[in-house]
Every structure is written in C-alpha cells, then in structure tokens.
Structure 1
Amino acid sequence: MKVGFLFNHDALHQIGHTAPIIAQIATFPDVQVHVLTSSPEQQARVRAVIGTEVAARVTFVSLDIGALARAFDAGLRWIAPFRRVAVLRDNLPAFAALDVLVVPETTSLLLRDRFGLRDLRYVWLPHGAGDRSVGYRSVMRGFDLVLLSGQKVHDRMQAMGLIAPGQARIIGYPKFDTIDFTTPPKPLFDNGRPTVLYNPHFEPRLSSWYGMGEGVMDWFAGQDRFNLMVAPHVMLFRRRIHASVEHARLRWRRDLAHRYRACPNIRFDPGSTASVDMTYTRAADIYLGDVSSQIYEWIARPRPAVFLNPARVEWTSDPNFGHWHLGRVVDDISALGPAIESAQAEFAGYRAAQEAAFRHTFDQGAEPAALRAAHAIVERFGKDAKGRGKP
C-alpha cells in the first residue's frame, strides 16, 4: 500500500499534525510512504520532525508548478492561495500513483472533485482542535477517513451531521508526540518578569490584530511589570490582505510599528519554527489571544488566559467560542491592563475549566497518537489497496 503525506501550504504550521504519523506507519510491513512537499522549507521541516533514520526509509517527492502558474502566483500570493491549487493540478501523476493520501487541510479534495482522482482514498486530520466554525464544514463529508483529537470535536461533528458512522476515528493529537513535556521550557526573557504570549489570529472579523493590536502594544510598551512575546498565527504576516468568505470581510494587515521593536520587554516573531512547535505556548505565563486553536495547546499545562473580542460578538452560548470560557474576555482595549494584571490571581477560578476542556479535546490513549493514526489507516485501507494492485 502506497500512503502519501501531502504538505502543500505557504507556512509550516500544518506539518506537526500529520508528520509524526510518518515515523510510525513507515515501520508497517507492505506500506510504502511517499512524502510530497511543495517547498524546500516544507521538506526540511518534515525531515526534522521524523528524523534522519525514518527519512531514509521514505520517498520524498518535490512538487512544483509550471511557468504560467508561477507568473500568476507572483501577483496573487499575497491575497489568495493560488499556488496550492496549482500544485494539485500540475502534479496529478504523483498523486495518482498512491493508494491513500493523508492531509491536514481540505483543499486536497480538489484532486477528486475537480481533477478526477476518484480511486485515491483521502484521510484528513485537522491541523488543530479549536472551536471556530471553519473547522466544522460540509467539505469534511468527502473524506474516506477522518482522524480526530478527542471527544469534543467528534461529538460536535457528529451532531452537525458532518461525519457518518464509522467515518471517523479518535486517535489523540500526534503533535504532542513530538513534544518533550518532561523537560521544563526555557524562559523567553531573562529578567524574571511574567511573560505574556500575544497570539492573534488572521481571521478578518474576529482577529484582535486589526483593531486592538496597536492598543495591546502600547499598553505593554508603557509598563515594566510584564514581558510581551508577540507570536501571531503564522499566516497573519504571510499575506497583506486577509479575506473571509464566511463573514464577507477583507482586512489590510499592518506591520508592527518600529517603535515597538526597540522595547526591551517586547519581542516579535512573525512566523518562525518556534511559533509552531509549542516553544512559546509552553514557556509563557499568560496567554493573550482571540480565536486561535493554540489555546488548546496552551492548556496542556493550565495557566492564565485572556481573550480579546474586538467584534463584540455574543459568545457565551456559541460553541465557536467555547475556549473563551477558559479565561477573562475583554471587549474594550481599556480593560486590557486590569485583565492582564489580575490574570494570575484570577486563574484559580478557571483551572478546573481548562483541565476539563483539555480532557474533552484530547484523548489520551495508551499508545502514541501517531501510532493510533497509523493503525487506523492500515486497518481501513490495507486490504483495499492490495486489491487495486497499483505498481
């Protein structure tokens, strides 16, 4: 059985979710693993996650696009994911040679729905375990197998009719397999002050960056009691314009003003590996965000959290904002200071909620999550792949 793992994105944040499965499934008899990447950076990151020994046992395939597509992408890359679709269209033989394709996103279903690869079996593992509505869409019905982190996501998808009986398997969170939770994280600053991680999303309507970001920076620049690590979702600074079809909204992303870069208690990371390997979510003391699913990685070790609600949405009974029950919610930037200053003292009131949310979101099995995922893939498709007999 030929199992492909596709990494086809502008940034590296999806790799940690499915790459750990490669290291497990590559040891199974009668399984050939193909790793398909659309950039040298993607391939390098996959190799780093799986290690040199596993990398030597798998086949790496570099995906590229034609000259005309590259010309279009040069003008569109800042506002639209044109290249991702072009990579699918321009590399159909590489995908057609596979029996199973494992992906951390949903665009890949275009291989079947637009480009006609109907013999290929599609496996989806969401890159994150958050609450936003974008993670609960009808497109997921098209996957042959869906691998989920825990009961929270499974039950919500089932209640919405997005997964059929037997279509999904709860396997845990493979990204956690790559993290050494026994070793204390290194401090992000060496001044002994509490460090706040500011983790704004790029979503045009709900992100705090567009309307509150400058106010956040001003508050931290004007005090000397807290450090601030600004590490937004890696896609925020990948594009200048962000669009939301769901909310019919466009936003222009401004850069971080130079005056903040000189502040000794403020650091900024627009999207390095440290933004996606839990370096910041493990090391900081207080989380400050809006709608990023990284809050669920944060509560692997429960700590204070504050959420910004620039759109002033009515969130208390909305499952899309379930994580906002894990800390104080701030609707106006004038309330930011008091919320940060009282976050550690107030945390006792949120600890139980965070612990319960973690258990509900991430299933902790006896086996590593990546191994459970590998078993699920082989059990579902192994016999079927032999029957098709691809060379």
Structure 2
Amino acid sequence: MRIGFLFNHDATHQISHTIPIAAALAARGVDVEILTSSAEQRGVASALLPATANVRHRALEVGWISRLADRLLRHVAPFRRIAILRENLPAFAALDALVVPETTSTLLKTRFGLDTLKLIYLPHGAGDGAAGFQPVTRHFDLVLLSGEKVRDRMLSLGLISERGHAIVGYPKFDTVDLAATPRFFDNDKPTVLYNPHFNPLLSSWYSHGEQVLDWFASQDALNLIFAPHVMLFKRRLHTSLIHRKARLRPDVPARFRDSPGIRIDTGSRRSIDMSYVRAADIYLGDVSSQIYEWIQRPRPAIFFDTHKPDRHASEDYGHWSLGEVIESVGEMPAAIARALADPDAYRERQRIADAATFSRSDRPAGERAADAILDHLRV
C-alpha cells in the first residue's frame, strides 16, 4: 500500500497538520511518499519528521509556461497549485491514497480523472470561517476531523457522511511542546499577540493595522508581537471568491521595524509553530483559526469586527464568543485594560470551546489518524 502526503501551497503552514500522520504510518511499515512543490516545503517537512522515518520524498515541478502564467495569475487564482496537480498526474496515479490539508487537490478526481485514487482530507485548522465548510469537501473519500464541533457542522451541511469521516484530534499538537512558554522580550511586561487574517473582507490589517502598531509604539507598558496569518504577506493583492472582495495589502511602515517593545514577524517558522501563541498574554485578532490554538491555554482575547456581520446568526463567527469584540482601534486600549484586570472573564467559555473543538486521548492524534486511514483503506 502506497500513501502519499501532498504539500502544495504558497506557504508551509499546512505541513505540521498532516506530517505526524505520515510518520505514524511509516513507523508501521506503510510505503509513505512525501510530495512537495517547493524546496521550502521539503525542508519543513523533513525537519518535522523523526530522523528515523522511512519515507520517500518527491519534488513536484511545473513547466516554464506554467511558471510564467503563475506570475500573471497567482493573485486571482491558485494557478501553480493547479498546474502542479495537472503536470504530475503519473506521480499521483501511482498512489493508493493521498492525504492533503487543503481542498484544491479534489481536482485530481473532478477534473483530471483519477477516479480510483482515495483522497483523504485533514483541514489545516479548526476554525469557524466559511472557507472551511465548502461543498468541495464532499469529494473526499475520508475526512479526518479535530473534534465534535467541526464534525457536527459538516454533518449538518451534508459535507461528510457518517462512514466517511473520523474524529482523530489535532495532529499539529503532536509537533509542539504545549507547556513551553518562549520568551521574546527581555522584560516582564504583558505581551499582546496581534494576529490579523489575510481575508480582504474579514481582516483588520487593511483598515486598522497601522493604527494598531502606532498605538503600541506610543506606549511602554506592553510588548507587542505582530505575527499575522502567514499568507498575509505572501501576496500584495488578496482576493476572496467566497466574499467577492479584493484588496491591496498595506506594507508594514518602516518606522515600526526598530520600535522598542514590538516584534514583527511576517512569515518565519515561528509564525506557524505556535511559538507566539504560547508566548503571549493577550490575543488580538479578527477571524484567524489560530484562536483555537490559543485557547488550549485559556487567556484573554480581543477581536476586531471590521464589517459588522450578523455574527449571532452565523456559525462563521462562533469564536467571537471567546473574547471581547470591538470595532475600532479607539476601543482597543480599554479592552486591553479590561483583559488585564480580569484575565479569567472568558476562561470557562474557552474551556468549553476547546473541549468541543479538540478531541484528546492518551494516544497522539497522528496515531489516531493513521488508524482511521488504515481502517478505511481496508474496508
């Protein structure tokens, strides 16, 4: 049995979600192949695998015409990701199953004719946004889920079947020492993590970002880590087909680069390995699924509402119940003061949400996912 693990994205943030499953399967003697579409992806995947893991690596490439087209189209469509699929069909056809942390790969079945390939999906995150609950999910043979919250919503939408899914926990946690609290400042001041999303409608960076940095630069009672979703600074133009919105992403003004008490990280490995989530005292964001990684250790959270949705009527904003919701930077100082004065105000809500979002067991999630995959393929 040959099982592939595909990493085919602009960034590397998806790798830690499924690589523990590859390691678990390889340890059981399964023929595991790691397929990557960049040298950076291969480096991160290799770093996360045990040194003893018996896996094969395959680098996926595209031709020069596709590389040129990608330069023109990457801001409006995931052209290279699709070209990687189309131009490497023999590599995928040689597999019995392919495990992926994203949904573009369903094109292998729906457009490129690989009907017999078993597609297995583990979402890279456990958030509430509409992007994680799209009809394309129905094309997967098996969907591996972090917990009851995501399972129940997918079932209610008809995205998964009773037999076509399994709750396995959150494999990314297998790669992290959750008890560790890294230090990034040489003082004991409270630290705020500002973690805006890249979505052009939902993110606070476009309208509030510079004001947020200005406020933190003007005071000396708090540290700030600015570590947005890793995709925010991968592109200049961000589009959302779901929300029919496009916006140019503002840069970080140079004056903040050397500002005391502010750490800026627009895309290092620290941005994706939970270092900042574990280090900070207050979360400041909008719609990123990182809030669910944050609440595995309950702490204050503050969310920017930049577009005034009917959030009580939509499950897309369920995470906004886990902290205070504000609409402007002018409201932010008072919200931070309340968070410092009463850091446990949302602890019980966060604890309940954490239990619903992440199934936990004495066994690592990667092992549980490996069980589910082998059980499914043996049927």
Q: Under TM normalisation by the shorter chain, which class is it?
A: over 0.9
Q: 1:44 — aligned with what?
A: 43
TM-superposition CA deviations, 1:161-209 (whole Å, max 9, x none): 1111211100000000111124x32212112111100000001111000
Whole-angstrom distance in 1 between the partners of 2:141 and 2:188: 50
TM-superposition CA deviations, 1:230-271 (whole Å, max 9, x none): 000011000000111111111100100011112111111111
Whole-angstrom distance in 1 between the partners of 2:312 and 2:345: 17
Number of corresponding residues: 379
TM-superposition CA deviations, 1:20-40 (whole Å, max 9, x none): 1111000224x2101100001
> What secondary structure, in the 3-state scheme, does the structure 1 residue paired with 2:47 have?
helix
Equivalent in 116, 119, 139 of residue 119 of structure 1: 116
Whole-angstrom distance in 1 between the partners of 2:42 and 2:355: 33
Gaps (5+ residues) in structure 2? Answer: none
Q: 2:261 — aligned with what?
A: 265
Per the TM alignment, residue 79 of structure 1 is displaced from its structure 2 partner at its CA by: 4.5
Q: 1:17 — aligned with what?
A: 17
Letter in 2 for 1:258: A
Q: 2:245 — aligned with what?
A: 249
Whole-angstrom distance in 1 between the partners of 2:358 and 2:94: 34
Per the TM alignment, residue 78 of structure 1 is displaced from its structure 2 partner at its CA by: 4.3
Asked whether the 8 Å contact 1:188–1:195 carries over to 2, the reply is no
Equivalent in 77, 88, 92 of residue 74 of structure 2: 77
Equivalent in 161, 169, 191 of residue 158 of structure 2: 161
State whether structure 2 residue 363 is matched by structure 1 residue 367.
yes
Per the TM alignment, residue 77 of structure 1 is displaced from its structure 2 partner at its CA by: 3.1
> What secondary structure, in the 3-state scheme, does the structure 2 residue paired with 1:26 have?
helix
336-345 or 208-217, which moves further after superposition?
A: 336-345
Whole-angstrom distance in 2 between the partners of 1:96 and 1:163: 24
Asked whether the 8 Å contact 2:4–2:99 carries over to 1, the reply is yes
Whole-angstrom distance in 2 between the partners of 1:283 and 1:152: 26
State whether structure 2 residue 303 is matched by structure 1 residue 307.
yes
Q: 1:139 — aligned with what?
A: 136
TM-superposition CA deviations, 1:135-167 (whole Å, max 9, x none): 111110110000000000001111111111211
Q: 1:388 — aligned with what?
A: none
Gaps (5+ residues) in structure 1? Answer: 384-391
Map of 1:54-65 to 2, 5 A cutoff? 54=53, 57-65=54-62
Instruction: Report the TM-score, using the length of structure 2 for normalisation.
Output: 0.98
Map of 1:1-391 to 2, 5 A cutoff? 1-29=1-29, 31-54=30-53, 57-182=54-179, 184-382=180-378
338-347 or 354-363, which moves further after superposition?
A: 338-347
Whole-angstrom distance in 2 between the partners of 1:180 and 1:334: 36
Whole-angstrom distance in 1 between the partners of 2:25 and 2:39: 23
Per the TM alignment, residue 74 of structure 1 is displaced from its structure 2 partner at its CA by: 2.4
Whole-angstrom distance in 2 between the partners of 1:358 and 1:72: 43
Per the TM alignment, residue 71 of structure 1 is displaced from its structure 2 partner at its CA by: 1.2
Instruction: Report the TM-score, using the length of structure 1 for normalisation.
Output: 0.95
Percent of matched pairs sharing the same residue: 54
Asked whether the 8 Å contact 2:300–2:345 carries over to 1, the reply is no
Whole-angstrom distance in 1 between the partners of 2:341 and 2:133: 35
Whole-angstrom distance in 1 between the partners of 2:336 and 2:184: 18
> What secondary structure, in the 3-state scheme, does the structure 1 residue paired with 2:312 have?
coil
Per the TM alignment, residue 349 of structure 1 is displaced from its structure 2 partner at its CA by: 1.9
Asked whether the 8 Å contact 1:241–1:250 carries over to 2, the reply is yes
Whole-angstrom distance in 2 between the partners of 1:218 and 1:252: 20
Whole-angstrom distance in 1 between the partners of 2:206 and 2:242: 18
Whole-angstrom distance in 2 between the partners of 1:7 and 1:161: 27
Letter in 2 for 1:39: S
